[in-house]
Chains A and B, each alone.
Chain A
Amino acid sequence: MEIHKTTWPMRILVFVLFAYLLAPVLLVFPLSFSGDQVLRFPPTFWSTRWYEALFANSQMLKAFWTSLSLAAIVTALSIVIAVPAAYVMTRLKFLGRDLLFNLFTAPLLLPTIVLGLAILIVFASFGLLATMQGLVFAHLVVTLPYALRVLAVSLSTQDRACEEAARTLGAKPLTVFFRVTVPMLTPGIVAAAALCFLVSFDEVVITLFLTGPRISTLPVELYNYVYNQADPLVAAASALLILLTLGVIMVVERAMGLGKAFVK
């Protein structure tokens, strides 16, 4: 049923606004093939020199591997910790459950600049600054709320009849959990994992407080690079990062549909 006839001025306006919204993301692709020494758009000639420069930059490569392993560890831990927690919080009624849920998701409400500083001060006395353990722990503080929220939504919309049937037919509680609940939860787990991975991989503000010359992540290295100089190297890195993000999104789309995962 088409009630609205969108007028042409409205369409043009929406198009212009979309162009504004997408301009910086789209721009890095042509810019990454610039042949110029400095940041200039449009480039005077094209080349792949900045991709070559990027892959020859050992600092960036090291930071990329740090980010990748950090995100992988954080994602795995987030799922292992958040699935049982979400299960308890959706299946069990107990006093103060809502309060606890709000407390566990509260780190998301705090601005990362404040959380970063707060963690820096505490970690300094624990000797966790510029260590992998410190980064894993700090990232878990922000990824767990996302994981818990996505998984809790999935679990609370799950049909309990299957669990009930399995139990009536004599399955042990653990069997029910691993053979019925978890398989049914797979789309939610995939969405939560993808979200945790992206959040950890992209996290920059908190990480900036906790990294140093010894250990650094890709977003922090890119931030430092842009802060000190402006050339197309970061465009090449950005283009690759956007493609990686698209890849992760496509995994989620396959698993449960992007709309369901992010727009509730």
Chain B
Amino acid sequence: MSAAATLPRQWRNGELAVMLLLPIALINAIGFILPVLNLARYSFNKSRIGGGIENVFTWDNWAGLLSDPFYLELVFNSVWISLAITLTTLVVSYPIALYLHRSTGSWRTFLTVLVISPLLTSAVVRTYGWIAILVDDGPVVSAIKAVGLPAPSLMFNIKGVFIGLTEILMPYMILALMAGFGRLDPRVEEAARTLGATPSRTFLKVILPLTLPGIALGCLLCFVLAVSSFITPKLMGGGRVFLLATEIYDQAIVTLNWPLASTLSILVLIVFGAALWAYSAVLRRLD
């Protein structure tokens, strides 16, 4: 039986259906499509000092951005740091995901809840937790001093942001990896072991290749989230860590230069597009 046949008759002329879709369509149009198109337009508008814009077409924002070493470094730093954070997140998440994939029953449910629960906790709360851990004279710095090593400064610089963001992105990576681990049949591993492969060889030649799609998905997700992360760099960077997302906020709220903020936002979307392109290129390779 076709889906259409199970529907009441008046639906087939579509009027009711359109009415039921209208509210969500309106919110989508006014709250999403219009603002994003407007953002693209603003990146070609001129800013007035102290806020407001002049409605003239100009390439000045883009030209200024691409010729200013500060912004070039900002983009380069954001991309590079996000890549490093993504790789670190992958390394610390992979063992957890593999362990979760292999565990069963209520133990698995319990651990999955543990992985998801930080995801449902506000980024502000988790960043605050990291500030308490990494602050000077906090538990980590004290422990390092106690072993006789020189005390590192972990707060208000990129190190703290790195440690905090890696943890904040871990649940996303673990869930993406687990989604991709479906292809990992334990019998295949066992076959490799029975045929005499060492554990490390089994991992490199059997487990890792089979889990590559999950790895690619997790890395895409975490990279995108890292580039656009704002709360953690702002709170843990202490105004000394300059990244794309924090700069967008400062330009929008502090400097009130909306055209520049818009231009930076479109730049973030271009970086996203590049990441997505790289991801699909990797997937094509894997097939």
Q: A residues within 8 Å of B by Cβ? A: 3-4, 6, 10-11, 13-14, 17-18, 20-25, 27-28, 31, 39-42, 81-82, 84-85, 87-89, 91-94, 100, 103-104, 106-107, 110-115, 117-122, 137-138, 140-141, 144, 148, 160, 163-164, 167, 173, 176, 198, 202, 204-205, 208-209, 219, 222-223, 226-227, 230, 234-235, 238, 241-242, 245-246, 249, 258-259, 262-263
Binary contact readout B190-224 vs A (1 if CB under 8 angstroms, 0 otherwise):
10000000000000000000000000000000001
Instruction: Give the residue of B120, B123, B262 whose beta carbon is less than 8 angstroms from that of A245.
Output: B120
Tell yes or no: B23 within 8 A of A by CB.
yes
Given A223-B235, A258-B113: A14 and B95 interface contact (C-beta under 8 Å): yes
Given A118-B39, A137-B31: A85 and B132 interface contact (C-beta under 8 Å): no
Closest-by-CB residue of B relative to A163 is: B6
Q: B40 to chain A: closest CB distance in Å?
A: 9
Q: Decide if B253 touches A209 in the complex (CB within 8 Å).
A: yes
Q: Which residues of A contact B92 (CB under 8 A)?
A: 17, 20
Closest-by-CB residue of B relative to A261 is: B116
Q: A239 to chain B: closest CB distance in Å?
A: 9
Q: Decide if A88 touches B20 in the complex (CB within 8 Å).
A: yes
Binary contact readout B157-181 vs A (1 if CB under 8 angstroms, 0 otherwise):
0000000100100110001001000
Tell yes or no: B109 within 8 A of A by CB.
yes
Cα(A249)–Cα(B110), bound, Å: 13
Cα(A173)–Cα(B187), bound, Å: 50
Given A14-B95, A21-B171, A113-B228: A92 and B139 interface contact (C-beta under 8 Å): no
Q: B37 to chain A: closest CB distance in Å?
A: 9
Binary contact readout B1-25 vs A (1 if CB under 8 angstroms, 0 otherwise):
1111011101100100100110111
Number of chain B residues close to chain A: CB under 8 A: 90
Given contacts A3-B186, A27-B129, could you give 12 more A-B pairs where the C-beta distance is less than 8 Å?
A3-B189, A6-B102, A21-B170, A27-B133, A42-B139, A91-B6, A122-B34, A144-B27, A148-B24, A202-B122, A258-B109, A258-B112
Q: Decide if A226 touches B235 in the complex (CB within 8 Å).
A: yes
Given A14-B96, A85-B20: A120 and B252 interface contact (C-beta under 8 Å): yes
Q: Which residues of B contact A234 (CB under 8 A)?
A: 124-125, 128
Q: Which residues of A contact B227 (CB under 8 A)?
A: 111
Q: A22 to chain B: closest CB distance in Å?
A: 7
Q: Which residues of A contact B32 (CB under 8 A)?
A: 106-107, 110, 115, 141
Binary contact readout B112-151 vs A (1 if CB under 8 angstroms, 0 otherwise):
1111111011111111111111010111000000000000
Q: Can you list 7 residue pairs at the A/B interface with Cβ under 8 Å?
A: A10-B99, A113-B248, A117-B265, A118-B36, A121-B38, A202-B122, A230-B135
Tell yes or no: B279 within 8 A of A by CB.
no
Tell yes or no: B234 within 8 A of A by CB.
yes
Given A87-B20, A140-B31, A204-B122: A121 and B258 interface contact (C-beta under 8 Å): yes
Given A17-B95, A241-B122: A41 and B234 interface contact (C-beta under 8 Å): no
Cα(A21)–Cα(B117), bound, Å: 10
Q: Decide if B261 touches A117 in the complex (CB within 8 Å).
A: yes
Instruction: Give the residue of B125, B164, B268 whose beta carbon is less than 8 angstroms from that of A113.
Output: B268
Q: Which residues of B contact A202 (CB under 8 A)?
A: 120-123
Q: B90 to chain A: closest CB distance in Å?
A: 12
Q: Decide if A259 touches B230 in the complex (CB within 8 Å).
A: no
Given A41-B139, A103-B28, A173-B8: A235 and B248 interface contact (C-beta under 8 Å): no
Q: Decide if B118 touches A22 in the complex (CB within 8 Å).
A: yes
Cα(A209)–Cα(B7), bound, Å: 44
Q: Which residues of A contact B11 (CB under 8 A)?
A: 92, 173
Q: Which residues of A contact B33 (CB under 8 A)?
A: 103
Q: Decide if B27 touches A81 in the complex (CB within 8 Å).
A: yes
Q: A124 to chain B: closest CB distance in Å?
A: 9
Cα(A176)–Cα(B116), bound, Å: 36
Q: Which residues of B contact A226 (CB under 8 A)?
A: 124, 127-128, 131, 235
